[in-house]
């Protein structure tokens, strides 16, 4: 900045008219970049070591590539880690969500309340269960479902809600669970982003009727592909097994579900032993690797807050984790349109962009009525529902202000500082 303290514009010219191109010009206007350190290794994920390789080789050498005790060993370790009675490994998180919704005994036309700003796997299995997604607003502090808006959208057909702990931030579970109790709704936690997060001192994933964790390659416990469903409910767990793990019904000699052991319900959702082998190793290292990511993201967050950037730090009583690092640009304070801010930061060398999840209620499968074809196949009588892309104005506005940053799983303090410098440099200038 110049000695006058006046804010420069994007060409490095101060309000007083003096120039300072060498010191102040933004990279987008020809100035020097703020982020000059190498970044490839700093963002490399997943972390694969000799330990992972040996675990996979052990499965390959066993020859048991379909049914292998390593899956049960992983389930036991995950169950111990999360603190639930049941942990059932799946081929992916999507299949686990589908199995959970089936175990909820949803019928055609039943409604499930969900949020729009999430990955499609949180929502699309609802259609394949013959039920109807009802999109509700997200609330500002966590990006999760707004409890008041959820309650306003409940109808006599509402049976459940799916609560996504988006990007690793716990949703407002006490209020959402209170709504669920008042209306006798099932609650599925989609904790695919939130391995190790805590809410009110309790592990995320232990609060609802059931929870699902994804183990896809970008997740905090990556296994190439995989998922885990957890629950405290014995009957619910048995229904999940009946749906996609038919071979596991044979030992259940006292269960009426054993009669389905030859067919299950026609789905095969079991986890590959090769994925389970990787997941076991990754789970062992989750705490330390997540600690590093969290420390780096929080360090940068403290630089950003004074600049008008809300980094979604965890509220009191919660502990968030960082599957992804999303921040909100306060455009009134920064005076920078979010898209232009992202462009200027990217030019500075900071790998900043828009969030990768489009709002689902605006997607063609809903707005063009394609979902109704699925609904009719499932026998629902609710295919007349219309989805309006202009609905959820608060969610739309909030989504337009989001910036996606790297999560810095290996970043040095110097790289974190360069990112902070990039934000400070850009936000110290006026956009044209």
In-domain check, residue 212: yes
Q: What is the pLDDT of residue 23?
A: 53
Same domain, 296 and 158: no
* Residues forming a β-bridge with 402: 328
Count of structural domains, the chain: 2
In-domain check, residue 2: no
- How would DSSP label each residue in 65-131? -SS-HHHHHHHHHHHHHHT-SEEEEESSHHHHHHHHHHHTT--TT-EEEEESSS-GGGTHHHHHTT-
Same domain, 135 and 224: yes
Same domain, 302 and 265: no
Last residue of a domain, one of 221, 253, 284: 284
How far apart CA 111 and CA 119 sit, in angstroms, is 19
In-domain check, residue 317: yes
Same domain, 79 and 228: yes
pLDDT digit string (tens) for 16-57?
333 343 457 999 999 999 999 999 999 999 999 999 999 999
Nearest to 223 by CA among 95, 76, 408, 52: 52
In-domain check, residue 346: yes
Same domain, 235 and 319: no
Same domain, 276 and 290: no
pLDDT digit string (tens) for 228-261?
999 999 999 999 999 999 989 999 999 999 999 9
Please report, for the domain that includes residue 189, its CATH number. 3.40.640.10
Burial 358-384 (b: 16+ CB within 10 A, else e): ebbbbbebbeeeebbebbeebebebbe
Last residue of a domain, one of 258, 284, 310: 284
In-domain check, residue 16: no
Q: Tokens standing for 263?
A: 């067919």
pLDDT digit string (tens) for 296-334?
999 999 999 999 999 999 988 899 999 999 999 999 999
Strands (E), 165-288: 186-190, 198-199, 202-203, 210-214, 227-231
Average pLDDT, the chain: 92
Same domain, 252 and 343: no
Residue 220: pLDDT band with limits 50, 70, 90: very high
In-domain check, residue 415: yes
Q: What is the pLDDT of residue 385?
A: 77
Residues ≥6 apart with Cβ < 8 Å to 305? 311, 313
Span 108-123, average pLDDT: 95
Looking at the chain, the whole-number percentage of residues with pLDDT higher than 70 is: 92
Residue 356: pLDDT band with limits 50, 70, 90: confident
Same domain, 179 and 189: yes
Phi, psi of 372 (to 5 degrees): -65, -30
Same domain, 58 and 207: yes
What end-to-end distance do the CA atoms of the chain give, in Å? 18
Number of Cβ within a 10 Å radius of residue 432: 8
* Residues forming a β-bridge with 202: 199
Last residue of a domain, one of 265, 284, 303: 284
Same domain, 237 and 224: yes
Whether the CA torsion 61, 64, 69, 74 is positive or negative: it is positive
Number of Cβ within a 10 Å radius of residue 66: 9
Q: What is the pLDDT of residue 2?
A: 33
Q: What is the pLDDT of residue 426?
A: 98
Same domain, 35 and 63: no
Q: What is the pLDDT of residue 21?
A: 38
In-domain check, residue 379: no
In-domain check, residue 304: yes
Domain that holds residue 69: 50-284
Span 169-198, average pLDDT: 98
On the CB side of 224, CA atoms within 13 Å amount to 12
Span 349-362, average pLDDT: 94
Phi, psi of 321 (to 5 degrees): -125, 175
Please report, for the domain that includes residue 408, its CATH number. 3.90.1150.10
Span 385-390, average pLDDT: 90
Residue 191: pLDDT band with limits 50, 70, 90: very high
Comparing 208-212, 349-353, 365-369, the range with the smallest average pLDDT is: 365-369
pLDDT at 11 over 50: no
Same domain, 276 and 265: yes
Residue 378: pLDDT band with limits 50, 70, 90: low
Q: What is the pLDDT of residue 381?
A: 52
pLDDT at 12 over 90: no
């Amino acid at each position: 900045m110049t000695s006058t303290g006046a804010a420069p514009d994007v060409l490095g010219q101060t309000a007083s008219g003096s120039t300072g191109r060498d010191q102040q010009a933004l990279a987008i206007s020809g100035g020097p970049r703020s982020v000059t350190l190498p970044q490839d290794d700093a963002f490399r994920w997943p972390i694969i070591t000799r330990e992972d390789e040996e675990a996979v080789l052990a499965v390959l050498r066993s020859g048991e590539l379909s049914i292998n005790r390593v899956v049960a060993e992983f389930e036991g370790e995950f169950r111990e880690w999360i603190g639930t009675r049941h942990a059932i490994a799946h081929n992916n998180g999507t299949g686990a969500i589908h199995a959970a919704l089936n175990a909820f005994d949803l019928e055609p036309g039943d409604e499930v309340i969900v949020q729009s700003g999430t990955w499609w796997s949180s929502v699309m299995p609802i259609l394949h269960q013959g039920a109807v997604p009802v999109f509700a607003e997200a609330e500002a502090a966590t990006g999760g479902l707004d409890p008041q808006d959820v309650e306003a959208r409940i109808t006599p057909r509402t049976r459940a809600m799916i609560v996504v702990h988006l990007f690793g931030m716990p949703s407002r579970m006490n209020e959402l669970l209170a709504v669920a109790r008042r209306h006798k709704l099932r609650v599925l936690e989609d904790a695919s982003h939130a391995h190790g997060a805590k809410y009110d001192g309790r592990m995320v994933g232990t609060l609802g009727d059931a929870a699902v964790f994804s183990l896809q390659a970008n997740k905090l416990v990556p296994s190439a592909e995989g998922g885990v469903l957890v629950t405290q409910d014995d009957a619910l767990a048995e229904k999940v097994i009946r749906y996609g793990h038919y071979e596991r019904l044979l030992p259940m000699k006292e269960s009426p579900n054993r009669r389905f052991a030859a067919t299950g319900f026609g789905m095969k959702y079991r986890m590959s032993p090769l994925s389970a082998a990787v997941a076991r190793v990754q789970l062992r290292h989750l705490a330390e690797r997540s600690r590093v990511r969290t420390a780096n993201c929080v360090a940068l967050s403290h630089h950003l807050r004074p600049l008008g950037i809300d980094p979604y730090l965890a509220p009191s009583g919660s502990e968030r984790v960082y599957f992804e690092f999303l921040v909100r640009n306060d455009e009134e304070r920064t005076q920078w349109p979010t898209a232009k801010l992202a462009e200027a930061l990217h030019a500075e060398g900071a790998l900043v962009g828009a969030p990768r999840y489009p709002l689902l209620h605006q997607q063609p499968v809903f707005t063009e009525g394609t979902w109704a074809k699925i609904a009719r196949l499932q026998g629902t009588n609710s295919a007349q529902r219309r989805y309006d892309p202009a609905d959820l104005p608060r969610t739309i506005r909030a989504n337009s202000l989001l910036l996606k940053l790297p999560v810095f799983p290996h970043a040095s303090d110097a790289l974190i500082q360069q990112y902070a410098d990039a934000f400070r440099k850009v936000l110290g200038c006026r956009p044209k």
